[in-house]
Amino acid sequence: MRVSASLSLAVLALTSFTAVSQTPAASKAQLATPQVSQVAQTPPMGWNSWNYFAGRVDDKGIRAAADQVVATGMKDAGYVYVNIDDTWEGERDANGVLHTNAKFPDMKALADYVHSKGLKIGIYSSPGSKTCGGYAGSLGHEEQDARMYAEWGIDYLKYDLCSFIGDVLEKQAPNDKAAQMRLMIAAYDKMNKALKATGRPIVFSFCQYGWDAVWEWGPSVGANLWRTTGDVTPEWDRIYAIVSQQAGLEAYAGPGHWNDPDMLEVGNGKLTLAENRTHFTMWAMLAAPLLAGNDLPNMKPEIKAILTNRDVIAIDQDSLGKQGARIYSDGEVEVWTRPLAGGAVAIAVVDAGDSRYSTHPFHLNLHKLGLTGKQTGKDLWTGKTVELTDNMPLELASHDVLLVRVDKPKGHVQ
């Protein structure tokens, strides 16, 4: 049985549509000037411990993840970072030096191990006194912690707002949201400067759930990526809600600074194969960081096939660095496009519902995408050549996606 979106080419209707140009609102928005960044020139790819292991992460698990990133071919497909999320932290000593807890006996040795595999290593902290998991944060120790990360050989820091809300924002500026936001921005800038002062290239990942339109100011205080929403969960409704919340943010992403709709849940929970495929497709369309978060030593072949689909990864990692945009929707079916280097375009059609059948299928309006006439492309989930024609009926399985790359589009792509 075919598992990918079923593309019906049987009926080629001749109806023509008036071209409707829908310029995304954000393209008119003011952009912060990003700092020059040598890291994250394409969206970071790797694996992070949180989504599957949460507090069960330890030294052994990180080594196993690094081994598996190599053994599964994920490294060859572009996955580089092995990121330790929350729960590695121990106590600070009399000199303020933060020690690891018993799960991580020697962070430098662990970093050396990950590096020996040709991979990079990431870590996690908070600008507050505690992390979200209640472990020690960096408040008042930013420079010291940044220096320690650099000494260990850390390549990536996820910095999670968490207790900074109660520790600082609500204490120092009660009932003044604007003052709270200024304090938050200053806290991120403080760690930005501390990281820069180490001289080590470290990807700086903001995790403050999109507060205060972080996409407008994050790059100016060193963000290489910034979460745009609250946490992802391995559930279709949550994943689809997050996708919807990215529409309009495309103007803010580019090499060195990316919108982060949160880490991947591919292979987690009870997501169907179609849902996993759509999740991965849309993260690629969104130029999102691809940080797998599944149980790598027990990864099923069909999940590995999704995570290592080179054609889809190439969309995510496209050198033009332009994030895709939602061009139109028709009920529960959405059409997104992403401009690619060399004038190519990726087109994703997502069926977020479960009620469109051949009796009243969705019809693809190429005019709305700025395309004129028949388009020849590659279906990136079947690997087959496909032809797209205006008003063609598309029958997609529930929560499934059609992803087509057109290298030589005809028309003026949106």
Q: How far apart are CA 113 and CA 361, in angstroms?
A: 53
Least distance to ligand GLA from the beta carbon of 61, Å?
15
- Concerning whether 160 is annotated as a catalytic residue, the answer is yes
Please check whether residue 309 is in contact with residue 381, taking contact to mean a CB–CB distance below 8 angstroms: yes
Q: Which of 199, 203, 87, 206 is nearest to 147 (CA)?
A: 199
Stretch that binds ligand GLA, among 125-133, 304-312, 337-345, 381-389 (CB under 6 A): 125-133
**How, if at all, do strands 258-260 and 225-227 pair?**
parallel
> What is the number of other CB atoms lying within 10 angstroms of the CB of residue 172?
11
x-or-dash string of contact with ligand GLA, 377-396, rule CB under 6 A:
--------------------
Residues 6+ apart with CB under 8 A from 178: none
Distances (CA, A) of 105 to 100, 220, 348, 371: 7, 36, 45, 57
Count of helices and strands (H, E) across the chain:
13, 18
Smallest distance from ligand GLA to CB 274, Å: 25
Q: Quick one: which of 34, 90, 133, 254 contacts ligand GLA (CB under 6 A)?
A: 133
CB nearer ligand GLA, residue 261 or residue 324: 261
Scanning residues 225 to 284, which ones bind ligand GLA (CB under 6 A)? 231
Q: What is the CA radius of gyration of the chain?
A: 22
Query: Is 231 annotated in the active site?
Result: yes
Should residue 89 be labelled a site residue for ligand GLA when binding is judged by CB under 6 A? no
Taking CB under 6 A as the rule, does residue 85 contact ligand GLA?
Answer: yes
Do the Cβ atoms of 368 and 20 come closer than 8 Å?
A: yes
**Choosing from 67, 189, 212, 231, which is the catalytic residue?**
231
Question: Which of 411, 318, 400 lies closest to 370 in space, CA to CA?
Answer: 411
Instruction: Out of 50, 53, 156, 217, point to the residue binding ligand GLA (CB under 6 A).
Output: 50
Which residue, 86 or 142, is less far from ligand GLA as judged by CB? 86
Does residue 86 belong to the site contacting ligand GLA (CB under 6 A)?
A: yes
* Smallest gap from residue 156 Cβ to ligand GLA (A): 13
Identified binder of ligand GLA from the candidate list 4, 131, 281, 365, rule CB under 6 A = 131
Binding positions for ligand GLA, rule: CB under 6 A: 50, 85-86, 131-133, 160, 207, 231
Catalytically annotated residues: 160, 231
